[in-house]
């Protein structure tokens, strides 16, 4: 009788432990999704600002068609990336790079730099880029916590049993994107 109670207590303890680890993994996975949603909100904000920027810049930089087309193509790639996170990360990196080149080229156009519309859009994009940077950082921190739970003992046992997988960090794919574009609006 006592052996049966000890055995049932042990089984109940193990079941509670498994439930606790499982619920922790589910909670962490949901935090990763929420962190990605925050990145996505900021990326959408930037995506929506680009047409206004392009319209403002077109009049001043008509012979810089190559740069303008690069931004347009990069924005289209972001729109076409859909829900696949890997494609979206790569497309967003390309857009960041194209915008950096656009702002660098704009240095050659004093009238453009003096335009209040351009200055307002540039300030809005700078603010958005900062928000994107913070959201990416938070996302990567959340992914690290999730990946630690999936890989570390004893969570890795439960993660394997219930098919929890490691999440992908938001990383720079293109090495040229690691180089900050030199932009001086003074």
* Residue 183 included in any domain: no
* Residue 184 included in any domain: no
Number of domains in the chain: 1
* Residue 57 included in any domain: yes
* Residue 7 included in any domain: yes
Residue whose structure tokens are 């574009």? 181
N- to C-terminal Cα separation, the chain: 84
Q: Which domain holds residue 114?
A: 2-178
Q: Is the pTM of this model over 0.85?
A: no
d(CA 169, CA 63): 38
Give pLDDT tens digits for 38-81.
988 888 888 888 888 887 777 766 667 777 788 888 888 888 87
């Amino acid at each position: 009788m006592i052996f049966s109670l000890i055995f049932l207590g042990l089984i109940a303890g193990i079941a509670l432990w498994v439930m606790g680890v499982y619920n922790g993994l589910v909670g962490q996975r949901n935090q990763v999704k929420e962190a990605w949603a925050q990145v996505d909100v900021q990326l959408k904000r930037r995506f929506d600002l680009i047409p206004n920027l392009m319209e403002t810049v077109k009049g001043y930089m008509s012979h810089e068609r190559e740069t303008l087309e690069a931004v347009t193509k990069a924005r289209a790639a972001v729109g076409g990336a859909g829900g696949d996170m890997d494609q979206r990360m790569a497309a967003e990196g390309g857009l960041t790079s194209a915008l950096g080149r656009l702002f660098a080229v704009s240095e050659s156009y004093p009238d453009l730099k003096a335009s209040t519309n351009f200055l307002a859009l540039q300030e809005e994009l700078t603010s958005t880029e900062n928000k994107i940077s913070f959201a990416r950082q938070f996302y990567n921190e959340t992914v690290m916590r999730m990946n630690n739970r999936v890989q570390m003992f004893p969570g890795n046992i439960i993660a394997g049993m219930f098919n929890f997988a490691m999440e992908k960090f938001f990383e720079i794919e293109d090495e040229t994107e690691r180089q900050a574009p030199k932009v001086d609006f003074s």
